[in-house]
Amino acid sequence: MARDNTDGTLLRGGSEYKQCLARAQAARQGHIFRWWDQLDAAGREKLLRQTASVDFQLVSDLAARHLGAGPEKFSGTIGLARVIPLPRTEEQFAERRRMAALGADAIARGEVALFIVAGGQGSRLKFDPPKGTFPICPITDKSLFHLFAEKLTATSRRCGVTIPLYIMTSTINNAATVEFFEINEYFGLGRENVMFVVQGMLPTLDASGKLILKRKDELFLSPNGHGGSITALKQGGALADMRRRGIRHISYHQVDNALVNSIDPVFIGYHVAAGAEMSLKVAQKRDAEEGLGVVGNVDGKLTVIEYSDLAPELMHTRRPDGSLLYGAGNIAIHILDVNFVERLNQAGSGLPWHVATKAVPFIDDSGKLVKPDKPNGIKFEMFVFDALPQAQAAVILESEREEEFAPVKNKHGQDSAATAKQALTNCYGRWLKQAGVEVPFDGEGNVDGKIEISPLFALDPEELAAKVSPDLKFTGELLLE
Ligand code: UTP
């Protein structure tokens, strides 16, 4: 028997190594094995495992297409999309109530699941653990995952049905995310009703198209974008699980929106009534430069144009009344039909790739780790909203951003944990005010103090009004659990 080492692992590594090296060299990426002789058995195993997962053909194609090309700015003609506006007339309010009833029926029939995408790197937040574990509740410091789980439990109880939860992670944070749910006993959702799917990863390239190594034995891999969820749902077995459970509609949101209405009967109602395959919520952009994609009509199809792809002159175009012409910002809350996701998978997801440049650590020619200040790495990502043009019918629903959108993106400043916590307090403050409770707001709509209302106490202002007395005194801090 041939032996190239006394260690069985390395024997296996020997033949695998030759194969992986040949594949890498054929793709002009042989440099990833330059430190091979210095690696121990575990390091070799790791590098081989990673290399085996790389689709070198895809990487070459992406490099050929995107390197040196600069960001592709969309500059074609964008027609206005039909957006269902916020209700203002009695008729519109009545329609929303009808839709809420329709949506509640679909939930009660067990046709709706929740899907949270949580595979991102969360680099701007500078918080190492998975973002969903971030303590967000203003008083109790409950995490984002805990808050979403309580919303799910409250909705399940209200509709008399078990709503399953699917979470997309990546190899970066899967183990820590699963462990967090384990430690917290799945927040009472039941382990059997929570499923994790792990998304695909892609190598990050330098400016010359070479794969970046972050250690001698490790490639710098990045998750393939939230658009990777389409194939991850299929490959991770979630679509099959949904079919078994009779799920037809997937309520999708990101892990970092503290105000999200995870399962919104109104939204589901509109989606079902229109026979839509994919729907999305929009909110008016804060300003022209806010990093939200905008919805428009391109070549007769509803399309989201990512903010980084929108030409500045279009981004800043205003109507005569001063409002932004392309002001309907995508707040990343969608409904996707199970059949639609299946269909997308038959076409290999069919989503286009986008390029992002980021500052990523790498090892230099002497093997030393360098942490650059400037972007040096080219990442490729798919965006889930690029599925929209493929939907045969779609609904775009306008939402009140103060009620539904508080992203936790940055460590400080706008869209940070501080602004999201304030947004939660303000939202609960408005609910209390509607219930007749006196709450002090400043001129900018901020409550001076902290308020936290658990979804298990009240899921919406109506439920709250039925439970609290207008005589309730707010003395600067109020927790309702
Ligand atoms: P962002 O684009 O805001 O990225 O993701 P991020 O990883 O959270 O943060 P930065 O850009 O590194 O600071 C929006 C949502 O999409 C998910 C994220 O977890 C978040 O819920 N996402 C993003 C994925 O699930 N996978 C990805 O590959 C990228």
Cα–Cα distance measured from residue 429 to residue 452, given in angstroms and rounded to the nearest whole number: 9
The pLDDT, as a whole number, for residue 164 is: 98
Ligand 1 mean position, distance from CA 256 (Å)? 8
Ligand 1 mean position, distance from CA 321 (Å)? 35
Q: Which of 144, 256, 290, 414 to mutate to test the pocket of ligand 1 (most atoms within 8 A of CB)?
A: 256
Q: Which atom of ligand 1 is nearest to the CA of 256?
A: 21
Residue 371, exposed/middle/buried by CB under 10 A (0-12, 13-18, 19+)? Answer: exposed
Tell whether the torsion through CA atoms of 158, 332, 328 and 137 is positive or negative: positive
> Which residue's alpha carbon is at the smallest distance from atom 1 of ligand 1?
120
The pLDDT, as a whole number, for residue 67 is: 84
Ligand 1 mean position, distance from CA 319 (Å)? 32
Instruction: Provide mean pLDDT across the span 236-249.
Output: 98
The pLDDT, as a whole number, for residue 77 is: 80
- pLDDT tens sequence across 273-326: 999 999 999 999 999 999 999 999 998 899 999 888 888 888 999 999 999 999
Q: Which atom of ligand 1 is nearest to the CA of 168?
A: 25
> Which residue's alpha carbon is at the smallest distance from atom 25 of ligand 1?
119
Ligand 1 mean position, distance from CA 255 (Å)? 8
The pLDDT, as a whole number, for residue 310 is: 86
Instruction: Provide mean pLDDT across the span 163-169.
Output: 98
From-to residues of CATH 3.90.550.10 in the chain: 90-408
- pLDDT tens sequence across 91-135: 999 999 999 999 999 999 999 999 999 999 898 999 999 999 999
Cα–Cα distance measured from residue 286 to residue 279, given in angstroms and rounded to the nearest whole number: 22
Contact 76/365 with Cβ under 8 angstroms?
Answer: no
CATH code, 90-408: 3.90.550.10
Q: How many CA atoms lie within 13 A of 449 on its CB side?
A: 15
> Which residue's alpha carbon is at the smallest distance from atom 14 of ligand 1?
254
Token reading at 140 = 């109790």
Would you give the DSSP letter of residue 325? T
Q: Is the pLDDT of residue 73 over 80?
A: no
pTM: 0.94
Q: Which atom of ligand 1 is nearest to the CA of 117?
A: 25
Q: Which of 115, 116, 121, 383 to mutate to test the pocket of ligand 1 (most atoms within 8 A of CB)?
A: 121
Contact 309/253 with Cβ under 8 angstroms?
Answer: no
Cα–Cα distance measured from residue 239 to residue 216, given in angstroms and rounded to the nearest whole number: 38
Ligand 1 mean position, distance from CA 116 (Å)? 11
Ligand 1 mean position, distance from CA 120 (Å)? 4
Ligand 1 mean position, distance from CA 132 (Å)? 11
Contact 454/481 with Cβ under 8 angstroms?
Answer: yes
The pLDDT, as a whole number, for residue 123 is: 85
Ligand 1 mean position, distance from CA 354 (Å)? 14
Q: Is the pLDDT of residue 399 over 60?
A: yes
Q: What percent of the chain has pLDDT over 70?
A: 96
- pLDDT tens sequence across 175-218: 999 999 999 999 999 999 999 999 999 999 999 999 999 999 99
Start-to-end CA distance of the chain, whole Å, equals 68
> Which residue's alpha carbon is at the smallest distance from atom 7 of ligand 1?
120
Return the closest-CA partner of residue 290 out of 409, 399, 418, 396.
Answer: 409
Helices (H), 319-478: 338-346, 401-404, 417-434, 461-467
Q: Which atom of ligand 1 is nearest to the CA of 223?
A: 28
Cα–Cα distance measured from residue 426 to residue 460, given in angstroms and rounded to the nearest whole number: 14
Ligand 1 mean position, distance from CA 476 (Å)? 34
Cα–Cα distance measured from residue 249 to residue 231, given in angstroms and rounded to the nearest whole number: 17
Residue-wise over 82-108: b if at least 16 C-beta within 10 A, else e? eebeeeeeeeeeebbeebbebbbebbe
Q: Which of 166, 170, 255 to mutate to test the pocket of ligand 1 (most atoms within 8 A of CB)?
A: 255
Ligand 1 mean position, distance from CA 125 (Å)? 11
Identity of the amino acid at 278: M
Ligand 1 mean position, distance from CA 104 (Å)? 30
- pLDDT tens sequence across 435-454: 999 999 999 999 999 999 99
- The pocket around ligand 1, CB under 6 angstroms, is made up of 117-124, 131, 168, 199, 223-226, 228, 254-256, 381, 409
Q: Which atom of ligand 1 is nearest to the CA of 124?
A: 13
